[in-house]
Structure 1
């Protein structure tokens, strides 16, 4: 597995490098990060989508602490739908990922006290190279002619589902166009069911997991915006 998890990539995109504050939809980011952990497990061949449920296929550890904790939860519990797991996993996940990124020196925790007792935390960037690689990868996917690898395609689909396009700070600022292109990437990878999985560059087992999680995020976002 990659040393930087998909959920961490989403987190870095969402937090302003200098202010260290989150931008965009709080619920959208939390849902997308929860889904990203499950996608990570699918990429590693640990879970699949079958009979409407997320099913553990391989219980071997992946080497990523958060992913392995989630894998343990999935294995110990009865099967649940993707929508159920996204809601179950999103609580507390952000704090865990922020702490891990701080421990690795990617960001730092600035604890500021207001009114003498209220603690406000900011997470400015310390090592910009990690986020720069993520942005470069997405940038190539958005502007290139070649289909991105399955990991980048999954990231693009999650960004679109959570409506995180403004965090990309693309030249020209055309958020609507960026959203359409990100969805095109996901559709081309077979996540929307519009393309045969036989011709997709993404493994069918991964495409099924990503597709159903993207739909779960969109449904949850619609419910919370109403």
Structure 2
């Protein structure tokens, strides 16, 4: 199956298949999706982190409409910090991603009217194959001993950074172990910043982008609430 953007992967994990409603932190999801667009651009060799800013190093379009819109704006604009980019991108990004998924028949837009005049949109899944593939990759990453590929490692790291582990829908007794494994994946990939980026199992330039975005997400979300 053709891979889909990381932002779409995060959204599909966060939305309930049957109710079509988002679960978990909305701000966490929006920040994570914004970061995911930038990570995809880093994976494609289009942006890199340098001197405190995310900068375009190759303006060639990637073929993904959302990522290419961001790439074009970044190429024409002054450099911004990772935190600035997250805030600039997160507004209306979810709507754009949902529109694309609806257009491709992955989810459907169910428009309901409540209290006679309030419109509420739900997005139940119509093609479960994409999410099934995402969950298969994550399950293999969580149970395997070897390092996963760059994209899956990035997705796992975004789940930790945005505190979206509940989207994995694991039994309570497995949640803590899954969190530890996700952090282990992030560390092994060099995404946590706790290892020398030259020893990263993914490209150092990608690891640096993911690390700085992870820090920006944590700063935006603030300290986690006590359990």
Same fold (TM over 0.5): yes
- 2:191 matched to which residue of 1? 191
Q: Where in structure 1 are there 5+ consecutive unaligned residues?
A: none
TM-score after normalising by structure 1: 0.96
SS in 2 for 1:170: coil
> How many Å apart are 1:155 and its aligned residue?
0.5
The residue aligned with 1:216 is 216
CA shift for structure 1 position 156: 0.4
Partner of 1:132: 132
Deviates more, 1:196-205 or 1:104-113: 196-205
Alignment size in residue pairs:
225
**Equivalent position of 2:37 in the other structure:** 37
Q: Is the 8 A contact 2:13 2:168 kept in 1?
A: yes
Cα offset, 1:179, TM superposition: 1.7
RMSD: 1.6
What is aligned with 1:205?
Answer: 205
Q: What is the aligned partner in structure 1 of residue 47 from structure 2?
A: 47
The answer as to whether partners of 1:149 and 1:201 remain within 8 angstroms in 2 is no
DSSP-derived class of the 1:180 partner: helix
Cα distance in 2 for residues equivalent to 1:179 and 1:216: 20
1:3 Cα deviation from its structure 2 partner: 4.2
SS at 1:198 equivalent:
helix
Q: Secondary structure at the match of 2:147?
A: coil
C-alpha distance in structure 1 between counterparts of 2:3 and 2:138, whole Å: 17
2: CA distance between counterparts of 1:173 and 1:119?
A: 38
- Does 2:73 match 1:73? yes
